[in-house]
Each structure stands twice: as structure tokens, then as C-alpha cells.
Structure 1
Amino acid sequence: METPTFSHSDCQKIVSKKLNDDFAIVEVRNSTFDHKNGYLGDHSLLTVTIKRNQCNESHNFFVKTLPTVPSQRQFLLEINGFFKEQRFFTRYLDLLRKHSIKVLDGAIPRCFLVNDETFVFDDLVTKGYTTLPSRVPLDLESVKAALTTFAKLHASCIILEEKKQFRLVDEFEEEVAETFYSDKDLTHTQTMTIPKHMFMEKFLDGLDQQKLFAQPSTKFRNTICHGDPWTKNLMFKFDDRDVKCVMVDFQSYRYCPPGQDVMAFLHLTTDKKLRDEHLDQVLGFYHDELDQNFGKHGLKGLIPRDEFFDSCHYFKQFALLQTLTHFQIVIMSDEIATEVMSDPSVAQFVFFENKYDFVVSSWHRDPIFRKMNLEALDELRLFFENK
């Protein structure tokens, strides 16, 4: 991976936006990470040393660029992911600021520069945030911290709609248009973990229905949803008092009911034991957080509690299927991920073509991969049987 270069003018803009103070640039350094931080972007660290008030100080920034691996770059462009994220951190956030909606402050990273191929964000690691392993289920306190953040994202759009008396999809049609599921033949690349003698027919029908689930609802209130709420798109900060969560990566957001995000998040990041024991509790907690955000802007009852719970029940099938297809990739071991990512031709085949051989190999080599996928299969099978 080549590290992006930044001009003196770029660095001046970046630091000025962060500090809003007088300074002089002393040194600029770019460095790559020792490990891969994500599948649909290249990441590096920008360190700008400045002189302010007669003292030198260094500021770190997280840099995200379009992938250099051709297959990943092409996929991201096909789903319009880079464009969507650009518009989120420019047009959408600008509109929130214009209407004095500050609910997302602290819930997403600050973005200091956006151009044709690059984002420059605040480095959350230096603020004590960390990314948790996707192969370890979140505990209850981390779940609540994440749901607090989801409630802020979802509330931001609904508050904006109430203030502007419009629907986001009317003015942001291209930005919120569903691109991950629409016009895709999911049956070729996403079904290879399902033995033929099991519930293949229902599974294939369910995959076709994902396209419908991902469209704006005509029954439930819609809002901006993250769309890819797995563990690596959340960063947590733990201290003696509480847990805080920041949401990252806005390449897949869509316009749907908040219950879709909430149920997808719970199935992608928790185990069945937590959901069985605490589902109503955490759904109620999320709804209370959502209402509190509305209340700060003099709004109440925009999504009734019963309606929200009904939507969560409705989106359970979507969440179960998304979990199973995502788990073929997002819970692979570090060893296997390194093997895949080190060879662009292998990455192309695993991510975007036929996954069968890869999934079978991972199933036999990796007991955690096998256990988590098997549990997801069993839960989906029971869902279809009960349905």
C-alpha cells in the first residue's frame, strides 16, 4: 500500500480545522499500519508536528483512502460506498449543523479533510478508543454503549426531517439509495455454507427478500441507518465510570427503519445467550435513548415503543440472513485473513466470486469460525421452522 501524500496547504487546513488557532507546521510524517484495519479501504497515520505558543506538539490523524487492491476498489465504487461516505461527512453533517442539530457530536469521528480519494479523521486511538475483536461477542455494557450511539445516528435524521418538514430520501435520494443488496445476484456468492439437504429453498427465498428489507419501509418510520453494524465499525473507550462508543465507516448507509440497524447489530455482535436473556431489555434501552434525543429538541413520541418493537420483530429475518452471509468473511481468523489479503487474486476470489472452497477450508481449520457459523445456521433454521 502506498501512503497518501499531503501538501503543506492540506496539512494547514487539517490542523486549522482541528485547533482553530495560530500555529506553524514543523514536520509532516505518513506511516502505514502493521496490520490491515478493514476490507474496503487502505489506512495510514498522518502525524503533523506544529509549533504553537512557542512549543512543539504533535497531532495524529487517521487517514482512509480508496483501496489499492483492484477488486476491492472496484467493489467499493460499484456500491457507491466512497461517494456515500463523502456526502455523509460533507452534505449531511453540514445540514445538521445548519439546523443546530448536535446530537452526533462525540458519536462519530471528526473529519478534517475530504477529497476525491481520501478522508482525514481524528485519530481515536490517541483518545483511548479501541476496536474489539469480531470473534468475541460484546458484553451487555458494550451493547448499551453502542445502542446509545445508534440512537443518536437515527435520531439525527428524524430530528432533521421534523425541522425541515421533509423526508431525507427526497433530497438525498442518491446518497441513501441502497447499493449493497440492489441488483445483485446474492445466490451465487452467499449460499455456499448451506448444505443442500437443509433449508436451501427458504434460504434462497430469504436472500431475494433482503433486497426488499433494505428498501425504505411503507409501514415503519424510516431514518438514516448505518447499514453495516458489525464490530469493526465500532470503537469503544472503557474507563472506571462507563463505556463510550464511536461509530465509523459510512459506506453502506441507507434509509430504513431503525429496527433494521438495531437487529442487525445485535445479531452480528452478540451471542444467542445475551439475546435470549436481554433482548427486551436492550431494545427498551435503545428506545429510551432515542426518545431522550428527541426530547432535547422538544420532540416526543415520533416512534412509539410498540411500533419499534414490531419493526424489530419484522427485521429479525433480515438480521439472521445478513449475519450468516457476513460471518463467511468478518469472523475469519487473523492468520487466514493475512493469507487472503496478501494475495489480490485470492482476495478477489474470496470476497467477490465463489466462496465455497474458502468457507470449507476455514470451517475445517478454524474452530471459532466453525462454531459461530454453525450457531448462525441453527438459529436461522429454527427461525424458518417456527415461521
Structure 2
Amino acid sequence: MEFLVREEDCRAAIQSYLGSNNFILEDYKVKPAGSKHVGFMGRHYILTAAVHHAGELNETHMFVKLPPITVAHRNLVLELKLLQREYTVYSYLVPLLKSSLPPSTKLPIPKCFLLRDTVHPDAFPAPGSEDEEIIILEDVTRLGFKPLQKCPLLDLPHCRVVMKTLAKFHAASILYEHTMAEDDRKSRDSPDSEAKEERSNRNLPFLDDLWEFEAAETVVAPCVVSVATAAAEIWPERFFGERETVSETLREAWQAMRRDFSEHPRVMCHGDLWANNLMFAYDGQDPTIPVDCLMVDLQKVSYCPPVTDILLFLHSSTTRQFRDENAESLLDYYHYKLGEIVGTELLDEVLPLSAFLQSYADLRMLGLVLSTAYLPVILEENDDLLSRGKLSLDPLDVKETILKDRGERIASNCKASKAYAERIMECFQECFESLGLWD
């Protein structure tokens, strides 16, 4: 096995899980979370422990996240602060947000039982060592939640459940900031300097940095070049000799996305909402009908307009025709569910429907541009025709998949898989039309 979770880490996680140190750990084992690698920015495993507690011997199941095993992949994750971000979200923000929600509303994310942040960012810790970062979470498959397979296009019932889930997550941010504002108003003139400092440290905008163009340059630069190269290969009659124009136009669009954020109300967003980061529970009588949803992988949580989550989700999980026919009703449904939690009076104050819909229109380019970066990678990894011959547990080759011009590879994939080609070509064309690149 590539690594073992240390026994002391296992014990600490079980103590948190049980809320008691009165137990005996008989044995534990760790195995991969699936038959192939799961996720793109880490190693994921299932920890199964045999535990004596309260006079009974039971199996306890938890989900383990570790950093990537290769140097290049690990360095990218640390450079983008993905593990540190999830650590901060669980250790600092989640308790605040949970306490802000009404008792009947749960934050739609897995519980966390153990965290260890980056100890030596410039080192490469041995797998399983005390210096390696680790997050141990609730195994939500035991609660009936299932991951989606093969990055499918989603139907209206699934999309409505996602809108309801996002409303819960965003509502927690709105309610927390409202409470913080009320506290500030009550004690604005307080002579207690420590109280003032504590309040100043309780805001959310410290999560801004992920959307700063400079922070994402490592990933953005090869993305825009890849799209330009692929376009010239797929549509030579349109884009042969125009790679530089396409690349520069896309680059400007990436830069503009972050600038536009400041004009709209912001909340804590998931930041990476596509199919692999959603798990659904289904109706017991009809297993095709989704009734609930959880969001996983909080590595890109950021403070930005709520439509950023909605736009990335819709553009990575639905067709253009579906969005044309259903986006308006889904936005209305999301806003209605948000009002059920935060109250219509507060919602009308911080995010009235008209302002929310305007933000969707103003920031629509975000969904278009992000999907050109996401879809080529996630569709390749989930297409049987394209992944044939790969070792099932091989980690993502980050140099080949993310950090280089992969335009020829995208074009080649389009020739090899009709399903891949249909989604990529629709995605690119819609983006190019909005950017004035499609005559």
C-alpha cells in the first residue's frame, strides 16, 4: 500500500467522531475510495476501523484526503493553497456558519473529524508521516449519498436539488455577516479594543485571493493557450492563424471576471461546483428521483457573488439548450429557497431578486470561460473511450493534463469520442460567440 494513516491519527479521528475517548481501537485498514483515482487535487481513501464503544463492537467508516503523491502535483496544490484553504474552512469558518443557520437547516457538507495543515510547505513529507497534511471526514456514502458517475449531463430534478443545496450554503454566509454587522453596530463605540480586534477577524473576504488573476496564472496561462490551439485544430477554416487572437481574448476575459465581482453582493461560495463535487441522495421508492445533495471538496471556497457557483455548475453539468429553457426558473427557485432560510426581509435588503438576476447576466462570461478550462479535463477523465488503457488507480498527470498546451490532445479527443466532441465544441462555440470570436 502506498501509505498508512498513522494509528494516532485514526484514534484522534474516532474520538472526534464518537465525542468520547472511552473506546478501544481493535484494528483499522485503509483502501482507495474507488476502483480508479477519485478527484484531481489529492489522494482519497476510505478508513475502516473496528471499534469497541459502549459495550459494542462496530465498524466506523471515514473518508481520508491527502495531498498528491507526485512533486509537481503537490507543488501545484500548495501554490494554489488548496489544502490550506480547506483546512481553514473546516477549522474556522464552518463552526461560525453552522451556528448562523436555523436549527432545522444543516450546512450541506460532510462533517470533519481530523485536520493537519501544511507543516513544511517546501518539503516533501513521506506518505503517512506526521508531517504530511491530512483531512479525515465523514463517509457520507453511509448516509445514502452517492457520487455521480461519468460526469453526466444533469436533468431538471437534479438541478433543482443543487439549487436548494446552494441556497443553504450561501444562506449561512448571509446570516453570519448579518449577525456580525448587528454586533458591530451594538458595540461600535466600545472601548474594548480586544473585542474590536476579534470582530475585525471574523469577516469572510480573506478568501478573496483564489480569484486574483495572478494567483491563478499557473493554471490560466496553459488553459487559454490550449483552447486557442484546440480551436485552430477543430475549426481550421475559422481559426487557423488566429491562435494569438483567441488566446489574448480569453486571457482578457479571465482578468475581467475578477474585476466584475466588486460590483455585486458576495457570499461564501463553494468555488468548484461540478459533478464530481456533488453527492446525491435519492427517493427510497424511486431511485431516479434526487431528494437531497451534499457538496464535497472545499478546496476552492471563496468569497464572491453567489452566481459564480451557479454558473460553473450549469455550464459544466447541462447543455446550452437546457440552460436556455431552464436557467430562469432555476434562478427563481434558488432565490426563493434562499429567502425561506434568511427571511424575505433580509434577502430583499442584501440580495433582492432584481440584483441577483442582474449579477447572473453581468457575470455570465464566468461560466462560459471556466467551462472551457474544466470540461476538456473532466470529460476526458470520465470518458471510457478516452481513458481506455490507463491504470485505474493512476493519479492525474498534472504536467500533461493542466500545466501545458494540450490543445492538440483536446482536438484528438474530439475525433476519438463523439460524446466528448459534442460537449467540447458546444462549450467552445458558445464562449467564442459571447467574446465576438465566432463570425
Q: TM-score under structure 2 normalisation? A: 0.79
SS of residue in 2 equivalent to 1:221: coil
The residue type equivalent to 1:137 in the other structure is L
> Quick one: higher RCO (CA 8 Å, sep 6+), 1 or 2?
2
| Deviation of 1:340 (Å) | 8.7
Q: Measure, in 2, the Cα distance between the counterparts of 1:42 and 1:176.
A: 26
| Deviation of 1:20 (Å) | 2.5
Q: Measure, in 2, the Cα distance between the counterparts of 1:282 and 1:253.
A: 22
**1:30 — aligned with what?**
30
Structure-to-structure mapping, 1:237-252, within 5 angstroms: 237-239=281-283, 240=285, 242-252=290-300
Unaligned segments of structure 1, at least 5 residues: none
**1:191 corresponds to 2:239:** no
| Deviation of 1:247 (Å) | 0.3
**2:412 — aligned with what?**
361
Q: Which one of 138, 141, 144 corresponds to residue 154 of structure 2?
A: 138
Structure-to-structure mapping, 1:1-387, within 5 angstroms: 2-7=2-7, 9-21=8-20, 22-32=22-32, 33-97=34-98, 99=100, 105-116=106-117, 117-165=133-181, 171-178=203-210, 181-183=213-215, 184=217, 186=221, 187-195=224-232, 197-198=238-239, 201=245, 204-214=248-258, 217-239=261-283, 240=285, 242-295=290-343, 299-301=346-348, 302-332=350-380, 333-334=383-384, 336-337=386-387, 339=390, 347-385=398-436
Aligned 8 A contact 2:204 2:303 in 1: no
Q: Measure, in 2, the Cα distance between the counterparts of 1:78 and 1:324.
A: 22
Q: Measure, in 2, the Cα distance between the counterparts of 1:353 and 1:294.
A: 44
Q: Measure, in 2, the Cα distance between the counterparts of 1:235 and 1:35.
A: 17
Once the two structures are aligned, what percentage of the paired residues are identical?
A: 22
Aligned 8 A contact 2:264 2:359 in 1: yes
Which structure is larger by alpha-carbon Rg, 1 or 2? Answer: 2
Alignment CA distance shift 1:335-1:367 (3 Å) = closer
| Deviation of 1:125 (Å) | 1.5
State the Cα RMSD in Å: 2.9
The residue type equivalent to 2:228 in the other structure is T
| Deviation of 1:17 (Å) | 2.1
| Deviation of 1:236 (Å) | 0.8
Aligned 8 A contact 2:375 2:424 in 1: yes
| Deviation of 1:344 (Å) | 7.2
Q: How many residues align?
A: 385
Alignment CA distance shift 1:257-1:100 (3 Å) = closer
Q: TM-score under structure 1 normalisation? A: 0.89
Q: Measure, in 2, the Cα distance between the counterparts of 1:225 and 1:300.
A: 17
The residue type equivalent to 2:116 in the other structure is N
Q: Measure, in 1, the Cα distance between the counterparts of 2:258 and 2:149.
A: 27
Alignment CA distance shift 1:99-1:238 (3 Å) = closer
| Deviation of 1:106 (Å) | 5.0
Aligned 8 A contact 1:104 1:153 in 2: no
Q: Measure, in 2, the Cα distance between the counterparts of 1:303 and 1:253.
A: 20
The residue type equivalent to 2:251 in the other structure is L
344-353 vs 61-70, which moves further: 344-353
Q: Measure, in 2, the Cα distance between the counterparts of 1:15 and 1:171.
A: 31
* Deviation readout 1:230-251 (Å, 9 max, x if unpaired): 1101111111375211001111
Q: Measure, in 2, the Cα distance between the counterparts of 1:38 and 1:345.
A: 9
| Deviation of 1:99 (Å) | 5.0
